[in-house]
A and B are shown apart, each in its own frame.
Chain A
Amino acid sequence: MAGRIDRHPILGKRKAKEEVEIIFNGKKIKAEKGEMIAAALQAKGIRIHRYTIKNKEPRGVFCGIGQCTDCAMEVNGQPNVRTCVTPVEAGMVINTQYGLNRDGDNID
């Protein structure tokens, strides 16, 4: 099942970690302290991180290690944050990015 892996034959049982609250597109969601933003979103089934400037196509996690920048989002007002290598913090405000920022103020 998609989402958090509670039991694993090699990694064992998932240890309960401290939870923090983050705000995704205005809604509060729970995340594990210190986990990557992309992991927290994926655990909630969220996989569209941004829409491209020209064709408004969705993008999500692609490389997972901070190289491709496909998973960029607007975090605490700052656009283009690589969510697969940026840990969550309590109260973090995360928004789907449209083009170069949340409001779609883009250079065409």
Chain B
Amino acid sequence: MVIILIKMDMVVIGAGPAGLSSAIEAAKEGVDVLLVDENIKAGGQLFKQIHKFFGSSDHRAGVRGIDIGKELINESRKLGVNIWLNSIVIGLFDDKLVLIKQNKDGRESLKRVQADKIIIATGASEKVINFTNWTLPGVMGAGAAQTMINVHRVLPGDRFLMVGTGNVGLIVSYQLIQAGAEVVGLIDAAKEVGGYGVHAAKIARKGVPFYLNHTIIKAEGNNKDGVTGAVIAEVDNNWQPISGSEKELKVDVITLAAGLKPLSELANMAGCKRTYISELGGWVPLHNENMESTVSGIYVVGDVTGVEEANTALEEGRLAGIDAAEKLGKIAVKESNKKKKSITKRVKNLRLGPFGENRLKAKEKLIKEYYEVTGKDYRENYDSVQAIEQKAAEKTRSMSVDHIDKTQGPVAVIECHQEIPCNPCELACKFGAIEIGEPITNVPILNEEKCTGCGLCLPQCPGLAIFLIDKSYSPDKSTVAFPYEYKHIPKKGDMVDAVDRQGNYLCKAEVVKVLQLEKFDKTPIVTISVLDKYIDDARNIKISD
């Protein structure tokens, strides 16, 4: 059998955010790109990300992942990127020969493609933890549950236990509640929540308990029904379960959010040198500052070279796409350097702050090791981007709103106290009342004198962490407005239960306004009135779904 050899400038393996963005950047410069993905749909894991993304507002932060996925696919098609779906790369051979098993109209065939440049964007897969009965049906990855509810729109159970409180565990818990499930709790062996405080706050004010310093001992269940419960226990300082502290939870699904590991097998097959960096999820291929691996002309981008967020994957993809276009002679070196410099700066900014610094150091180590292994001279193409000194939060972390005057009228309150790379609120304010500046990990600071109380920042915050407080509502009552992304939206005039930041009942409250505008992108703003004495604490409502 003779398999025809197809020649392409570039083959991109994996059509997730990193692969799509590298294909787009290269195609913009006139590179002939073939994008290959084993799935029947492009977009990688973007289509299960129905939440608004964190990050820089110049790069689609505040937009839901699902919409970013659609935009990227449209753009790549418009630019003439060839996309082969349902096609598995089964081998990468010398001289950049890519062997692909293509499935078209139910028929399988082998294709050989010779590419000048290859971009490996194979992503990552979920890590597991094992415990007694962990293989029972009903124990699944948090990402699996997320795919079931957000892509297939099927809820795989009624009562969920989330194991792990990193961002994946927090976000998927929130989305399970949005899908109509009950999350009976989140557990983590660590003593603190691993992910962003704003994500944790969203589910805490829904009343979901966090069991920190806890581990899972076993899944209860049988061979006929799968999971019917879970036994958790407190852990001691050596992470060992404390006997006698066991607690049984009635659940039918146990979701594991124990992190992700890069899928670097294909890079390994191609001869790309790898190293083990636990902060990046495990074995990762080495790369230089332009994402080129130790094999000249083969790039590695996105989670395959270190598990991070979709926004860093998008930037790494762009970087590789531009560098490859430059090496193919499609873009002048000067122009390419300019573009790469600004992307490098942005991506570095995304790795600042307490949540990013380990990844930043790990990525620098990866690049250093690339130069040690290849023996190439490390010449910085452009000025290194120094971490800009972070502005200390001037705000106290007190949750009290005592500083707001009874006569003042509506004013925003930003309950975002961690240095996370995110700034859509800054741009949302047309009056310049919210300042983040550089770097993007600064904590937002509200200038109350400039705040008109318009509330437009509320739906823009991907962390749903901005509230609008109006103490002038009536002589003894104040109002609080908050974003409310659940199935049953209350109506003006409804009497509801006001709850605090842990979801505890405070008092009855009247819904005084519900605002649902197109530009809020499905994040309605609900305003309730409560007696003044509850205004420090009332941050959510409880209505039976």
Contact = CB atoms under 8 A, between A and B. Distances in A.
A1 to B, nearest CB: 6
B510 interface: no
B40 interface: yes
Contact of B138 (A8, A14, A47): A47
Nearest to B177: A9
Contact of B40 (A11, A38, A56, A87): A87
B139 A62 contact: yes
Contacts of B157: 2
B281 to A, nearest CB: 15
Nearest to A34: B40
B522 interface: yes
Contacts of B522: 9-10
B362 interface: no
Interface residues of A, number: 38
A94 B262 CA distance: 33
B152 A39 contact: yes
Interface in B121-149: 125-126, 135-141, 143-149
Chain B contact patch, size range: 35 or more
Interface string B138-170: 111101111111101111111000000000000
A35 interface: yes
A56 B152 CA distance: 29
Contact of B485 (A2, A10, A56, A63): A10
A100 interface: no
B356 interface: no
Nearest to A50: B137
Contacts of B50: 10-11
A84 B45 CA distance: 14
Contacts of B224: 48, 58
B226 A47 contact: yes
Given A5-B179, A9-B486, A57-B135, A63 B141 contact: yes
B234 interface: no
Contacts of A43: 154
B137 A58 contact: yes
B485 A62 contact: no
A67 to B, nearest CB: 5
A84 to B, nearest CB: 8
Contact of A57 (B143, B158, B223): B223
B126 A63 contact: yes
Interface of A: 1-5, 7-11, 14, 35-36, 38-39, 42-43, 47-49, 51, 56-68, 70, 84-85, 87
17 contacts: A3-B154, A4-B153, A7-B487, A11-B153, A38-B148, A39-B154, A42-B148, A42-B156, A47-B226, A48-B223, A58-B223, A61-B148, A61-B156, A63-B140, A66-B39, A68-B125, A84-B147
Interface of B: 38-40, 45, 50, 64, 125-126, 135-141, 143-150, 152-158, 178-180, 223-224, 226, 252, 485-487, 489, 522
Given A5-B149, A62-B141, A64-B140, 5 more contacts: A5-B155, A10-B50, A47-B138, A64-B146, A85-B40
